[in-house]
Amino acid sequence: MRVSPSQLVPGCILLRDVNGKTNRPIIPKNTELTEKHITVLHKFLVEHVDVSNLLNNGAPFKPDSIDEKTESPESESTTINFLQLPFKEHYLYVVNEYKKLFKSWRNKKTIESLAVRNLILPLLDRMDEIGSEVYTLHQYANKKDYFYHHSVSVSVLSAYLGKKMGYQKGEWLQIGLAGLLSDVGMVKLGDFAFNKEGVLTNEEKLEIRNHPTYSYRMVEHISSIPYAVKLAVLQHHERKDGSGYPLGLSQDKIHGFARIIAVCDMYHAMTSDRIYREKQSPFKVIEELQKDQFSKLDPRVVQVFVDAIANFSIGTKVVLSNDQVGEIVFIDQKQPTRPIVRLDNGEIITLSNHHNLHIKEIV
């Protein structure tokens, strides 16, 4: 939108360069404005600037008054009222637009952080609306477009988990942004990373392990992206025991944002259909995450994740791994993924006593 400097507030993001009389930018586009920037605009007698309709923290920018004659026509025509869309439609729209962005990056275009923010932040802002259904995002994915679904889903899951862990909104929005950007470095890889069926070769596996470094280098010099986001992008495959990559970091050397993304990345990858690997049950994956929580992953992150997804209520209908259907009649808080289930035929099964069985899906 186009506004006067008197309407600006700190956190506004410039859409276009503000040029002086020499045609050199006084303030370049994509800058997050501060009080100092706004003072400069007043001193240079700038009449209007074009800014995003979202602040840097993801909140809507609502100036005190807008001159309708100066409203940027292109921004008005491209504005979509996402709140009128069901969450799934909004999610699928973001996946499709992210796919377009990713393909442009593969064609050597640089990342414009404003375009990325304007795409993902409105979706993340619907967190209260979707609630724990974020854990079913893997059901929207397909083998062909798995990669694009994965990036968006990891973003949403990471932001949701960050919020559940008590981070302030500005922080969990940053976590979601880092989740989306964590795999952008895959643009540097060959088609095998997206299309190959069957087992990857050792050389291909080693090449994929470079993608966090590539991702970091693509965002390293973008001033409008916070340093914590950049660290999370670089470290999201690091593990507490030092077995991760690309740096082999361990323990407290791994940023908290990266620890959250690590869990969400593993969960969505393992629960989704991929070209070279079949999906697993969300609850089977949770049990695997629990096994890794004291060695590779952050136990607090895993515990909050498990508490949120396994927040069953008595009477919840579930499908077991042997395709039998039943309902939960008792939950052991120490083993929330292994409740007591009454099958449709009346049989009672205690899942903690049947390790060959697990919950496959919630009906």
Residue 67: the pLDDT is 41
Residue 198: the pLDDT is 76
Peptide bond into 299 cis (omega under 30): no
How far is residue 125's CA from residue 197's CA, in Å, rounded to a whole number?
36
Residue 156: the pLDDT is 97
Residue 296's Cβ-side half-sphere holds a number of Cα atoms within 13 Å equal to: 15
Asked whether the beta carbons of 351 and 359 are under 8 A apart, the reply is yes
How far is residue 315's CA from residue 328's CA, in Å, rounded to a whole number?
5
Q: Which amino acid is at 119?
A: L
Sign of the C-alpha dihedral computed for residues 251, 256, 257 and 262 taken in this order: positive
Q: Work out whether strand 2-3 and strand 348-350 pair parallel, antiparallel, or are unpaired.
A: unpaired
Rounded average pLDDT per 10-residue block, the chain, 363 residues = 87 88 80 88 81 86 59 43 84 95 94 93 90 83 92 97 95 97 94 79 90 96 94 97 95 96 95 80 86 90 86 83 93 85 95 90 78
How far is residue 338's CA from residue 333's CA, in Å, rounded to a whole number?
9
How far is residue 192's CA from residue 49's CA, in Å, rounded to a whole number?
45
Q: Which two tokens stand for residue 199?
A: 């087992």
Task: Give one DSSP letter per residue of 221-274, joined into a string.
Answer: T-TTS-HHHHHHHHHTT--TTS--SSS---GGGS-HHHHHHHHHHHHHHHHS-B
Residue 312: the pLDDT is 67
Q: What are phi and psi of 5, to 5 degrees?
A: -55, -30
Q: Which among 276, 297, 278 is positioned nearest to 286, based on CA atoms?
A: 297
Which CATH architecture fits 2-77?
Alpha-Beta Complex (3.90)
How far is residue 282's CA from residue 9's CA, in Å, rounded to a whole number?
44
Around Cβ 342, how many Cβ atoms within 10 Å? 15
* Residues facing 32 on adjacent strands: 13
φ/ψ region of 351 (left if φ > 0, alpha if ψ in -120 to 50, else beta) reads alpha
- Rg of the chain over Cα atoms, rounded to whole angstroms, equals 23
> What are the C-alpha distances in Å from 343 to residues 146, 182, 325, 329, 360?
34, 42, 6, 10, 14
Question: What's the pTM value of the predicted model, to 2 decimals?
Answer: 0.76
Nearest 5°: the CA angle 107, 113, 116 is 80
**Hey, where are the domains in the chain?**
2-77, 82-309, 317-362
Asked whether the beta carbons of 337 and 350 are under 8 A apart, the reply is no
Around Cβ 313, how many Cβ atoms within 10 Å? 7
Residue with tokens 């932001």: 159
How far is residue 14's CA from residue 32's CA, in Å, rounded to a whole number?
7
CATH number of the structural domain 82-309: 1.10.3210.10
With 0-12 / 13-18 / 19 or more C-beta atoms within 10 angstroms meaning exposed / middle / buried, residue 295 is exposed
